[in-house]
Structure 1
Amino acid sequence: MRTDYYNWLPLTVPDIFRIFSNISVKWCIAGGWALDLYLGRQSRVHEDIDVIIFREDQFTAFEYLSKDWLLYKAHKGNLSLWKEGERLTATKDIWVSKDATSPWAFQIMIVDTEEEAWVYGRETSIRRPVKDICSTTHEGVPYLKPEIQLLYKGSSSEIRTKDLNDLLLLLPSLSPQAIEWLRSSLNIQFPSGHEWIKHIDQLTS
């Protein structure tokens, strides 16, 4: 078990692209880097880098990555080794490093699907066709669509300043359809209201 949660030396986007392009899984970059790939520029410093895969692809990803990396499953604040053959039914986050003491290199976010639809784990009534959750840069790097990434950021137990800044930076560049999807999804998850709705309403009023 490891507890060095802040011991990060993240890979670059090209590094991730080289690794995951060799794995027969659907994947895309998530987190703050996904937003910057959408913008076409780096907007701020990123302490880590996140990659999404689908739960049904977990063994394929493990088989390839475990040749060169150690994979740790995150559960209730603890990080323990993901063992060969172990099926992850609820775990959503995997932290990856070269060995037991080296810095964290990247994080894998496992997402669920049902009948060709991505299922939002924090409110399972929010769904979207799997084929419609990622976009691709001109260089071919897949990334999570910004409205979905912003939903994840807005649904954290504590919304950080950088997440609000990401919202304010991205909103003017989003399509009306993306903005409406984000507003609707926040309203579904937070029927009593969400602080980001006022920013969305100010932009669209």
Structure 2
Amino acid sequence: MESFSELVELSGLLNDFRQPWFVAGGWAIDLFIGDVTRVHKDIEIAIFRKDQSSLREYLVGWEFTKVVNGKMEPWNEDEWLELPIHEIHAHAKNTLFSELEILLDESSQSEWRFRRNLDIARPLSMIRLRSDIGVPFLAPEIVLLYKAKNPRSKDEDDFYRVCRLLNEERQVWLKQAITLCHPGHHWLAEIHAS
């Protein structure tokens, strides 16, 4: 089984990056739980869309691609990425992280916004948690909302591992968000929020 050592290294790599960033996806679920529960094929981090140029400047010498309609294309240096583009890959040679998957999250001055439905929001103060080992990660209810669209077996496992650990407020928010995006989703019956 893996350990969190790669995430500690990642945190060191991004230590001087002055904009908010957070581990996303399955690793965020494991950071919330405090244990590595499964094998992860990659590390995803999220940043706010408004900070994309800052990250590019920070990762000097890295090569960048963007995902457009499921295909990788070069991300030109002065190009500003708008929705629906939300996924970037950063490639470096001679580093522990030969590739990073970077997700662009939407935000306003005070709120995170769900890119698939911008009416779904969360206060910025609620979306970024910090693990016991000091690694920032995306709040698990937001990770689960992303995973709810087309859940694979690993997403189902992540949901059942973490949902019962969410406090009432996080469960209520998740239930409302999934109801808006995916009415009738089978996870709704499992969320015990009122």
User: TM-score, normalized by length of structure 2?
Assistant: 0.89
State the match for 1:195 in structure 2: 186
CA distance in structure 1 between the aligned counterparts of 2:129 and 2:114, rounded to whole angstroms: 18
Does the aligned pair in 2 maintain the 1:95–1:104 contact within 8 Å? no
State the match for 1:97 in structure 2: 91
The Cα RMSD (Å) is: 1.8
Name which of structure 1's ranges 30-39 and 123-132 shifts more when overlaid on structure 2: 123-132
Q: 1:136 aligns with which of 130, 148, 160?
A: 130
Give 1:104 shift.
5.6
Does the aligned pair in 1 maintain the 2:147–2:155 contact within 8 Å? yes
Q: Look up the SS of the partner of 2:117 in the other structure.
A: coil
Does the aligned pair in 2 maintain the 1:52–1:110 contact within 8 Å? yes
State the match for 2:48 in structure 1: 54
CA distance in structure 2 between the aligned counterparts of 1:179 and 1:23, rounded to whole angstroms: 31
Q: Look up the SS of the partner of 1:125 in the other structure.
A: strand
Give 1:56 shift.
1.1
CA distance in structure 2 between the aligned counterparts of 1:87 and 1:198, rounded to whole angstroms: 41
**Is 1:21 matched up with 2:21?**
no
Instruction: Please tell me the residue identity of whatever aligns with 1:86.
Output: E
Q: How many residues align?
A: 186
CA distance in structure 1 between the aligned counterparts of 2:166 and 2:113, rounded to whole angstroms: 22
Give 1:162 shift.
0.8
Give 1:185 shift.
0.6
Q: How does 1:1-205 map to 2 (within 5 A)?
A: 12-65=6-59, 67-90=60-83, 91-98=85-92, 105-155=99-149, 158-191=150-183, 193-201=184-192
CA distance in structure 2 between the aligned counterparts of 1:151 and 1:198, rounded to whole angstroms: 15
Give 1:115 shift.
3.0
Give 1:83 shift.
1.6
Aligned residues with identical type, % of pairs: 33
Instruction: Please tell me the residue identity of whatever aligns with 2:58.
Output: Y
Unpaired runs of 5+ residues, structure 2, are none
User: 4+ residue runs of structure 1 moved beyond 4 angstroms?
Assistant: none
CA distance in structure 2 between the aligned counterparts of 1:145 and 1:16, rounded to whole angstroms: 18
User: TM-score, normalized by length of structure 1?
Assistant: 0.85
Give 1:190 shift.
2.2
CA distance in structure 2 between the aligned counterparts of 1:12 and 1:83, rounded to whole angstroms: 28
